[in-house]
Amino acid sequence: MNFEETEEQSMIREMVRDFAEEVLLPTVNSRDSAQSPPREEWKAFIDSGLHSITIPEEFGGNPVDHISEAIIIDSIISKTCKAISPLHRCLRLFSIE
């Protein structure tokens, strides 16, 4: 069995890490101190196409495989642990089956 990331999964990892470093990391401390949600960051997350990853396309989702979902969550956590809470709740939406 091959456990290496696919090219698409590697691209997702790189894209999400860049997003976390460029968008989430600069504001994480101020948002954490103010206990404010990442509203502008969430808009950027949606614009990046990383939202609704567990929702089927027929319901407006942007589905990815389970490994890619884990990569997205892991990449955000590894860069900005404090920023994960609101985004994690949104990522944890389960698909309608």
Closest CA to 74 of 22, 23, 31, 14: 14
Where do we find the tokens 């990569």?
A: 71
Domain 7-29+39-91 has CATH 1.10.540.10: yes
Other C-beta atoms closer than 10 Å to the C-beta of 28 total 19
User: Which string of b and e fits 29-49 if b means at least 16 CB within 10 Å?
Assistant: eebeeeeeebeebeeebeeee
Domain ranges of the chain: 7-29+39-91
Question: Would you give per-residue pLDDT tens digits along the chain (97 residues)?
Answer: 888 999 999 999 999 999 989 998 898 888 878 888 888 988 998 898 888 888 889 998 889 998 999 898 888 877 776 545 555 555 544 444 4
Smallest Cα–Cα separation from 82: which of 39, 45, 31? Answer: 31
- Residue 85 to residues 33, 46, 96, 97, Cα–Cα distance (Å): 14, 16, 23, 25
Question: What length does the chain have?
Answer: 97
